[in-house]
């Protein structure tokens, strides 16, 4: 099996703009893409963030959630264009330490990128410090969920 490594050279990363809905098995987020962010890695990042946000929600932030594997990704040839995107995910299976999601991002009602993403949980440690990350994610959820309707 061949491993795909994506190195974007970007400083920082593309964060979701808003959580549209959040429930026990689903999440929806929105993101406006600039003309500089139309590469496939931006679409992958948006999907990965949606899944990781949902895992953190399900686990009440007591563990560090991270992308473990992308099982597959299907994207349009032109993939992303500047504009408003909705991304959503459905939890398809989970264990004590791992979560699998089907994730999609669409613009103007057309799916632009989709895939199956696997996430894992790990303990906070000296690299992923609980005293910093737990409060960071609580603040992030508070900002992203502002005015979100109940699901």
HSE, side-chain direction, 13 A CA sphere, residue 98: 7
> What is the per-residue pLDDT for 23?
93
> pLDDT averaged over the chain?
82
pLDDT digit string (tens) for 50-72?
A: 999 999 999 987 888 889 999 99
Quote the pTM value. Answer: 0.80
| List of domains in the chain | 18-138 (3.10.129.10)
Where is 113: in which H helix or E strand? strand 110-122
């Amino acid at each position: 099996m061949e491993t795909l490594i994506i190195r974007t050279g970007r400083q920082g990363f593309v964060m979701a703009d808003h959580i549209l809905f959040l429930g026990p098995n689903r999440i929806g987020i929105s993101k406006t893409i600039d003309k500089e962010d139309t590469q496939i890695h931006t679409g992958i990042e948006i999907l990965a963030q949606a899944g990781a946000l949902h895992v953190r929600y399900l686990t009440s932030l007591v563990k560090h959630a991270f992308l473990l594997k992308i099982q597959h990704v299907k994207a349009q040839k032109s993939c992303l264009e500047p504009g408003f995107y909705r991304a959503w995910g459905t939890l398809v299976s989970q264990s004590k330490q791992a979560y699998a999601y089907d994730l999609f991002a669409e613009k103007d009602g057309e799916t632009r990128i989709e895939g199956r993403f696997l996430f894992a949980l790990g303990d906070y440690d000296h690299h992923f410090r609980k005293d910093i990350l737990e409060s960071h994610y609580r603040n992030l959820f508070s900002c992203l969920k502002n005015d979100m309707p109940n699901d």
